């Protein structure tokens, strides 16, 4: 396959909440490259990384951030790769602020947004995007879905 997806987070403190993204990607044979970079503290690093991500072989970018949660939007502004935002819980209103900041993007700069702390779903969405042109990933996704069905009785 040879797929590579960036998993970015705004702070090292977000590592536990974003770990399911990397684990899920790896389950499907997708290389997860995990990095910490902040839209506010290191905007030049975000811009440099994301604007060169396609040439570096990335297929998608997953961004997790809390509170103001501008990381996904900053990433989307610098690439045409799919960007998936994971609003993270915390702060005074426990993730609602990050959810709104992630989902309310201006026209022309889309960010697919999953639930608060939904890192696993972000990875599954990235895999589904890759599966559009990869029948083996389709089969793996179908197997995973079948495993989630509770036993009858």
Q: What is the pLDDT of residues 138-152, one digit of tens each?
A: 999 999 999 989 888
pTM: 0.95
Mean pLDDT for the stretch of residues 59-81: 96
**Burial profile 48-69: b = 16 or more Cβ within 10 angstroms, e = fewer:** ebbeebeeeebbbbbbbbbbeb
Domain spans, the chain: 4-148
Strands 31-36 and 4-9 turn out to be parallel
**Helix, strand, coil abundance in the chain, percent, nearest 5:** 45, 20, 40
Tokens of 62: 């997953």
Pick the CATH number of 4-148 from 3.40.50.740, 3.40.47.10, 3.10.310.10, 3.40.50.1970: 3.40.50.1970
Q: 1 pLDDT band (50/70/90 cuts)? A: low
pLDDT for the residue 12: 96
């Amino acid at each position: 396959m040879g797929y590579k997806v960036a998993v970015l987070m705004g702070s090292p403190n977000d590592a536990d909440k974003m770990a399911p993204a990397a684990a899920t990607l790896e389950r499907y044979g997708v290389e997860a490259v995990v990095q910490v970079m902040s839209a506010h503290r290191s905007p030049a690093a975000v811009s440099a990384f994301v604007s060169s991500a396609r040439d570096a072989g990335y297929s998608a970018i997953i961004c997790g951030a809390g509170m103001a949660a501008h990381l996904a939007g900053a990433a989307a502004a610098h690439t045409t790769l799919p960007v998936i935002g994971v609003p993270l819980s915390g702060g005074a209103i426990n993730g609602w602020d990050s959810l709104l900041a992630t989902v309310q993007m201006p026209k022309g700069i889309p960010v697919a947004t999953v639930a608060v702390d939904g890192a696993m779903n972000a990875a599954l969405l990235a895999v589904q995007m890759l599966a559009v042109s990869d029948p083996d990933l389709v089969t793996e996704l179908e197997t995973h879905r079948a495993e989630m069905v509770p036993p009858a009785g």
